Structure 1
Amino acid sequence: MKLKYFTLLLAFGLLLSILVACSDETGGKEGTKGESAEEGGKVLNLTNPDAIPTMDPSQASDESSFIYLAATKEGLYRLDNNAKPVDGIATDHTVSEDGLTWTFTLREDAEWENGDPVTAHDFVYAWQRAVDPKTGSEYGPYMMNGVIKNATKVSEGKVPVEKLGVTAKDDYTFVVELENPTPYFESLTTFGTFLPLNQAFVEEQGDKFATSTDTLLANGPYTIENWESTSSSWELVKNEDYWDADTVQMDKLTFEVVKDPQTAVSLYTSGAVDRVDLTADLVDKYKSHDDYVVTPGTFVYFIKFNQKANKALANTNIRAAIGRAFDKQALVDEILNNGSIVANGLVPANFTPMPESGEDFREVNGDLVTYDKEAAHEYWQKGLKEIGKDKLELELLSVDDKATKTMVEYIANQLSTNLPGLTIKLKQVPKELRLDLSSKMEYELQISRWGPDFLDPFTYMNLYTTGSGNNLMGYSNPKYDELVNETATTLAQDNAARYQNFLKAEKLLFEDAVIAPIYQSSRAQLISPKIEGVHVNPFGSTYEYKWANVAE
């Protein structure tokens, strides 16, 4: 609910709810397993835009879930402040000469919250569970199919989970067999889907697993306290049983769900919380504030074209016209107003360097589709002639939040103004329905986005191969498929050649006008200067809290 006028009473109520830690939504029965940090310890008070959808690594597919999974669990590796994998449960690994077998040596001093040792068997069970079709995981098959040996066959129910290429050679030696050499596999293991699970505990909890504090088991820097699946507040509390507990400086981090940006800002300026996101309408007011910070992101927003929706969108010239017919610079400067930058390609800027030169991938491949009214008009007239029409109505699907609503209204106005005869009908729905309509391909145009799951262009480029679970547009080009698939097969051990394929594939994507890039996101925030050591990751969990601290 939007609160246009923030009252003193509401501010006081929310302030109290944060300062007394978290509301007891479980009536003292669930979600209260651990003890809160002692008064006077190091504490940060933060907000979250929504409740945590799930704390089950096999089921997580959203930003919030991955943030709190990363804080409470430890995988083989985790990302440091330079987004480089550093020791987690694994202390070392070796890779066979053919690149297909990875052998991880695990530390023997890591424990689960209940005192059980963390072993190779926990990784075997978790990875098998993630691709088991009975689990119904979205990210398990997406992350492992074509990477882990037999993952595709397992996820399709063709072979039993025991055939997945993961084994425990002994308690502290974990062996992974790959389908093909995978240059980015080490960074992939930092992702939430690959976190271990204590099989005995998970099976004991049954359907209740990961629904509350009492049905979770941490092995990471923090435990999550006073949480259940409907909670509007919770805490991360230092896990004294964590193998590297001496490194963890924070005693507690509290989180309160605050949906209204103005409410969040009021809490920040009152000193009740230590970090908030700013929407476009708040940036001008606070960009001169000493605590104002813009953090570049790696999410790329774009318009998807459903080529199966109608004859017009099957036409390359119609799609090419739409992609060039709206002023993206004005959009990021005036509509978003949060430091986001124009996107003229798919792979984001400052994401991954070329293997040999170190140049940024985006700079090397350049701008592939830019705002150009004259070119847009030429493509448009050519496309209309090819489909035998002089006017066209298209529906643009998007989520219904305030920021997106303003953006799509701007884009619709630009398109109808710059492309004579085009009418854009807006369809704005809740996120869950937008995802459902997308998965069923029941849309024409759609505002979508993608953020990376690992540090490699493949995380973007494989979206549009024929048959990809994310290619919900009816696009298929054998040459594009060949270029992308070669990077995971015949060229897998030649990174320089892989990147040349990526450059060619991305250019082909825009020659085919498959999507219309809009912008690369940034996050405008107010962040207390006392916060130290909170890393913002370019992929996986947005925030890394292991090294968090507060200035003395």
Structure 2
Amino acid sequence: MRGEGALDGSPMTEWEISGSSESVEEGLLRIGLSEPVSTMDIHKTSSDYMIPLNIYERLFEVWVDEDGVAWLVDGLAEDYSVENGGQTYRFTLRDDAYFSDGSKVKASDVAFSFARMLTLPGSLQTDFADIIYGADEVMGTPGKIPEGIRVLDDRHLEITLSEPFEGYLYELASPSCSVLSESFVTRAGDDYGSGVEQTMGSGPYAVTEYSEQKIRLERNPYYHCLEGESLSVRKVEIIVLPPALMAQAFLEGGLDILDTGLINPDAEEIIIHSDRWKDRIVKRSRVDIKYVMMNLDSPGLEDIRLRRAIQMAVNRQDLLDTLYGGEGSLVDGIFPKGLFGFSEENQGWLKYDLEEAKRLIREVPDVDKIHLELAANSQSNTRTLTALEMIRQDLEEAGLDVTIVSYDEKTLMYLRRNGSLMMYSGEWTADYDDPDNFIYTFFGSSEKTHSRSSHYDDPTVFSRISKARGIQNRKARLAEYARLEKILVQDNAVWIPLYSTGHQFVLGDRTASFSPFWAGWSSMYFRDVVLKENNETKSAQGSSR
């Protein structure tokens, strides 16, 4: 199909999609993305996870059962042991794992991959390996292996951490810890992940076409199936479409799964409340938090009274109702509902209170001279930009002078990492099921708070966050995280926690079932999609007309 499309049924004539549901090749899954995939190199992205999830493998994987419960299962690791008080891990790799060129996955590939997270200049995945003993000594130095990684032979590997970390196995199941081929990556050099000939993994699928508008994958002929795994999807076609065209493509039978988070809110409302699709909706709560970060080094924001006033002045429930139809829940801290370690005790304290916000603002010296800037990504979707405008209006009503300043995505990220943004809105969804993935990522050190444009600086809190990783008693560990969450958000008002949202997908006629990623990502495992046989599809279409 090609051209502009709309929900009124007018044809699309601009974008090529492989046929209607009646003519499409059996075993082909067609899905849409809203933005091009910038790279397939997992170490150079912190958001483009759709391809890495499916072309790479990890030592462990996360599966979701029929009740929506996430389970850690063996991936490349066939066996493991934990020694030295939870500080040393020994892994045995399965003997039937091969990259898509037929070469065997070795322990040296795992060592190389984990070291590259640290040593690749500009790596966006250092957080997932900086706990390995000796990580600091090799950071940003290509070719080095930290002292804590030892290859024992082709199938055995030992990793020693700088301190015990109870959540380490769950971290190893995140896309960031995908295993790459050392020899292939070395040959590809800086071009790794930039095209079909420069990308390879050992996962269920291999990339056969890669461009800004379309990506195609096919089954990796050398892939072993995990226990209980059955792959219905043989080929995948990913098309990059703007929101209006994506909705239309789905309605015309051109997509097999519609991610409603990628289309316009008005179109989402029409589709999910349609009798045609009401029984084809799959929901998953996001394990995420949307927030507004405040730069504590900015004029005015160093005053905790102003930060607390801002927390009270934002009508979070109104945002959730207006932008998401109330699908979600307010979050009053750092850890979202659904995350291991979520603390009910830290919920319910933050209330919308415009009058109290105004009172606190009046106490701030020279508040009439304070000008706040709320940074926006000019490429964000309508919902995100609307949220920023609603927040600006709330703060203005409280008596503050606030301007939204737009930047292109590259500039925005540069300013954020350099600690230069005054305020900005963000979202963090769990990579792995542990509080560490949230609190350490944002507030684990002065370097981390600087790169998030927070500049919160309390060495005692940083030390406690680091030590919490190694607390072996689970109850005591979670209690410490709850205390730290309270210190940061309630006592110090480091950010404005907003809410977590739901995530809805709609299944097309060719799709029998689909289990979304456990944390509610848009990125999905294609193994979790079951397609109907062609005769089943025709029967379903006939009964729906």
TM-score computed with the length of structure 1 as normaliser: 0.86
Paired residues in the alignment total 510
Alignment partner, residue 387 of structure 2: 407
CA deviations 1:272-327 (Å, max 9, x no partner) are 112222432223322312234443212211111111121x1100000000111121
Whether contact under 8 Å (2:203, 2:223) holds in the other structure is yes
Question: Distance in 1 between the 2:37 and 2:461 partners?
Answer: 37
CA distance in 1, matches of 2:447, 2:127: 9
Aligned to 1:150: 134
Contact 1:296 1:339 in 2 (8 A): no
- Check the 8 A contact 2:133/2:147 in 1, yes or no: yes
Aligned residue among 281, 284, 292 for 1:303: 292
Aligned to 1:268: 250
Question: 1:346 is matched with which residue?
Answer: 334
Distance 1:166 1:215 in 2: 26
Cα pair distance change 1:465/1:201, threshold 3 Å: closer
Equivalence for 2:306: 318
Matched residue SS, 1:240: coil
8 Å contact 2:9–2:248 — kept in the other structure? no
Amino acid at match of 1:485: S
The correspondence for 1:398, drawn from 350, 359, 376, is 376
Partner SS state of residue 169, structure 2: helix
Contact 1:279-1:338 at 8 Å conserved across structures: no
Partner of 1:550: 531
The CA distance in 2 between the partners of 1:494 and 1:415, in whole Å, is 43
Q: Which position in structure 1 is the counterpart of 2:415?
A: 437
CA RMSD of aligned residues (A): 2.6
1:64-213 matches, cutoff 5 A = 64=48, 66-81=49-64, 82-132=69-119, 134-139=120-125, 141-145=126-130, 147-155=131-139, 161-213=144-196
2:419 maps to a residue whose letter is M
Q: Counterparts of 1:449 and 1:258 in 2: how far apart (Å)? A: 22
| Contact kept? 1:537, 1:543, Cα under 8 Å | no
Q: Does 1:41 align with 2:26?
A: yes
Query: Shift in Å at residue 162 of structure 1?
Result: 3.0
Q: Please report how far the alpha carbon of residue 11 of structure 1 lies from its aligned counterpart in structure 2 after TM superposition.
A: 1.2
Task: Kindly indicate whether residue 217 of structure 2 is the aligned counterpart of residue 236 of structure 1.
Answer: yes
| Partner residue, 1:284 | 269
CA distance in 2, matches of 1:521, 1:509: 22
Name whichever of 363-372 and 218-227 sits farther off: 363-372
* CA positional deviation for 1:467: 1.3
Whether the 8 Å CA contact 2:132–2:146 is kept in 1: the answer is no
Offset, 1:456: 1.0
Q: 1:334 to 1:294 in 2, by over 3 A?
A: farther
- Corresponding position: 1:254 with 2:237: yes
Is 1:504 the counterpart of 2:504 in the alignment? no
Paired with 1:362 and 1:484, the residues of 2 have a C-alpha distance of 16
- 1:378 and 2:378 matched: no
Contact 1:122/1:197 (CA < 8 Å) preserved in 2? yes
The aligned runs of 1:415-434 (5 Å cut-off) are 415-417=395-397, 419-420=398-399, 422-434=400-412
466-475 or 92-101: bigger deviation: 466-475
Tell me: CA distance 1:285–1:165, structure 2 relative to 1, closer, same or farther (3 Å): same
- Cα distance change of structure 1 residues 392 and 220 upon mapping to structure 2, 3 Å threshold: same
CA contact (8 A) 2:4 2:14 kept: no
* Counterpart Cα distance in 2 of 1:5 and 1:70: 32
- Contact (CA 8 Å) 1:111, 1:219: kept in 2 or not? yes
Q: Does 1:60 align with 2:45?
A: yes
Over 3 Å counting, the alpha-carbon distance change for 1:338 and 1:430 in structure 2 is farther
In the aligned structure 2, how far is the partner of 1:98 from the partner of 1:539?
33
Identity of counterpart residues, as a percentage?
Answer: 20
Distance 1:118 1:161 in 2: 20
Paired residues of 1:345 and 1:517 also in contact (CA < 8 A)? yes
| SS of residue paired to 1:204 | helix
For the residues of structure 2 that align with 1:162 and 1:351, how far apart are their CA atoms?
A: 32
Q: Distance in 1 between matches of 2:272 and 2:77?
A: 42
Q: Conserved in 1, the CA contact under 8 Å of 2:285 and 2:520?
A: no
Gaps of 5+ in 1: 22-37, 354-360
Question: Structure 1 CA distance, aligned partners of 2:112 and 2:444?
Answer: 30
How far did residue 149 of structure 1 move? 0.9
Residue deviations 1:102-138 (CA, integer Å, cap 9, x gap):
1111111111111111111111111122211x54312
User: SS in structure 1 opposite 2:206?
Assistant: strand
Q: Tell me, which stretches of 5 or more residues in structure 2 are unaligned?
A: 537-545
Residue 365 to residue 8, structure 1, CA distance change in 2 (3 Å): closer
Shift of 1:514: 0.6
Q: Kindly report which structure 2 residues correspond to 1:210-225, keeping only aligned pairs within 5 A, or say none.
A: 210-225=193-208
Counterparts of 2:75 and 2:127, CA distance in 1: 23
The answer to whether the Cα contact below 8 Å between 2:343 and 2:482 also exists between their aligned partners in 1 is no
State how far apart, in whole Å, the 1-side matches of 2:212 and 2:419 are: 33
Deviation at 1:525, TM superposition (A): 3.6
| Residue 485 of structure 1, aligned match among 448, 466, 472 | 466
Q: Which moved more, 1:217-226 or 1:198-207?
A: 198-207
Distance verdict in 2 for CA 1:152–1:325, change over 3 Å: same
> Residues 523 and 533 of structure 1: is their aligned pair in 2 closer, same or farther, counting only changes over 3 Å?
closer
Segments ≥4 residues shifted beyond 6 Å: 6-9
**Counterpart for residue 12 of structure 2:** 11
Check 1:118–1:250 CA distance in 2 against 1; reply closer, same or farther (3 A cut): same
**For 1:216-242, what per-residue CA distance to the aligned partner results, in whole angstroms no more than 9, with x for missing partners?**
223111111111xx4311122122210
Of the candidates 434, 453, 458, which is equivalent to residue 436 of structure 2? 458
Query: Cα gap change, 1:114/1:156 in structure 2, threshold over 3 Å: closer, same or farther?
Result: closer
Shift of 1:390: 4.3
